[in-house]
Amino acid sequence: MKLRPISLSLILALVLPALSRPSSALAESEFALTSAAISSGATIPAEYSCSGANQSPPLSWSNVPHDVKSFALVMEDPDAPSGTFVHWVVYNLPQSTTLLPAALPTTPTLASGGNQGVNSSGKVGYMGPCPPPGAPHHYVFTVYALDSNVTLKPGVGDVHTLRAEMNGHVKGSAELVGLFSR
């Protein structure tokens, strides 16, 4: 008989926390960034680097937070020898946008809406991975869901100005990390 209260206590200790958690079917899905060409943590195909066509990869996002007015995207290499190198800056993507196709032109304004800013080389648009020979570098793609557009003009915004403009307006963000080495 003495074991029964202990067993009941043990059962309650195990069951009650489970009852207070939402079921996975009811839990809200996370904002996510994916690519048909790049798996998270895997090698970025050469066609998206300076070793290939140096074209932008296809990207898509899902489970967007509520009340989003626009999106911004940044691609950075935090392993660059002289500090973080910014490879791509995109902003004012329309709220209806959930994907960027491969091989976007390196123009200040995108035909589907949105603007591209300058990368760390001072050029507009995407600049693929091109690390010095050696260990793989991490390339971090981050999409930001914003509650407004930013006021940056096409072709002039850099990552620092973009981040200042986004301050206080980010509803959510999602990352995809790819690797590349030469």
Output the pLDDT for position 17.
39
* Torsions phi, psi for 80 (to 5 deg): -60, 145
CATH of 24-180, one of 3.40.30.10, 3.30.70.3460, 3.90.280.10, 3.40.50.2300: 3.90.280.10
Mean pLDDT by 10 residues, the chain (182 residues): 44 38 51 98 98 98 97 98 97 98 98 97 98 98 98 96 98 98 97
Beta-bridge partner residues of 175: 142
Three-class DSSP category at 128:
coil
pTM comes to 0.85
H/E element, 93: strand 85-94
174 alpha carbon, distance to own chain's centre: 4
| Measured distance CA(52)–CA(117) in Å, rounded | 22
pLDDT at 3: 44
The pLDDT of residue 34 is 98
Q: What are the tens digits of pLDDT across the range 56-90?
A: 999 999 999 999 999 999 999 999 999 999 999 99
pLDDT of residue 29: 82
Note whether 61 and 44 are within 8 A (CB): no
Give the integer Cα–Cα distance in Å for 91 and 113.
9
- What pLDDT is attached to residue 19? 37
Contact 128, 86 (CB under 8 A): no
The distance from CA 69 to its chain's CA centroid, rounded to whole angstroms, is: 17
Structural element, H or E, at residue 164: helix 159-166
